Amino acid sequence: KNEVEQSPQNLTAQEGEFITINCSYSVGISALHWLQQHPGGGIVSLFMLSSGKKKHGRLIATINIQEKHSSLHITASHPRDSAVYICAAWDNYNQGGKLIFGQGTELSVKP
Amino acid sequence: NAGVMQNPRHLVRRRGQEARLRCSPMKGHSHVYWYRQLPEEGLKFMVYLQKENIIDESGMPKERFSAEFPKEGPSILRIQQVVRGDSAAYFCASSPRQRNNEKLFFGSGTQLSVL
């Protein structure tokens, strides 16, 4: 079992739908990242969370430390949101750079 | 303020050749991380460097791979005697400080293809 698991692996939505991507982790973490990887390959950091909830535009990220679970929500989805979304955890016991990545969720938003 | 710059964007090598991948971190960032994304797989940590120091290389293959981040110039990921299994996208990221909760800024990646 991977230390960071995402679901679903693939997601197709209609424009305007509310989207949720889930991330569960089994390691103790100090922070969790949500990343977006565009079809061209570039990676953008969307959020870095250690507790609670963050919002940026139509994107909302939440984390529940006790349940070891995080969610990424997209409201009013748009075709330009089509990308791979990746959660990645900073291992609590590692002071180096070892982010542990989920496998990614490939999102396709249809017009 | 330019972002993290990686070059080349695409690199083609024949088996047995050397591959050199470069990463220039964002201005003011002294921490560089290299990650590899194999085809159909997720990203995996390779190495974490500060200027002139390797801090964590626990994700690097034991042979043929090396990394450096000199006092001047970009960070270099070097792969000697490449094999087909080295074909992957290699990403670097940088951050200004050494904290596990620091936001990372990623480069666009180098796609290495080994023929």
Q: Which two tokens stand for residue A5?
A: 């698991």
Nearest CA-CA partner of A102 in A80, A72, A64, A58:
A72
Residue A44 with chain B: CB contacts under 8 Å: 106
| Closest CB from B56, B59, B106 relative to A43 | B106
Residue of A nearest to B60 (CA): A98
User: What mean pLDDT do residues B90-115 have?
Assistant: 85
CA distance A44 to B56: 23
**How many residues in total does chain A contain?**
111
Provide the β-strand partners of residue A88. Answer: A33, A101
Q: What pLDDT tens digit does each residue of chain A (111 aa) get?
A: 678 999 999 999 999 999 999 999 987 777 899 999 987 778 999 999 888 999 999 999 999 988 999 999 999 999 999 999 999 988 766 556 678 899 999 999 999
CA angle B32, B37, B42 (to 5 degrees): 110
Least confident of A19-33, B26-40, B42-56, B92-106: B92-106
Which residue out of A37, A99, A100 would a mutagenesis test of the B interface target, given it has the greatest number of B Cβ atoms within 10 Å?
A99
Helices (H), A2-41: none
Residue B111 burial (10 A CB sphere; 0-12, 13-18, 19+): middle
The size of chain B, in residues, is 115
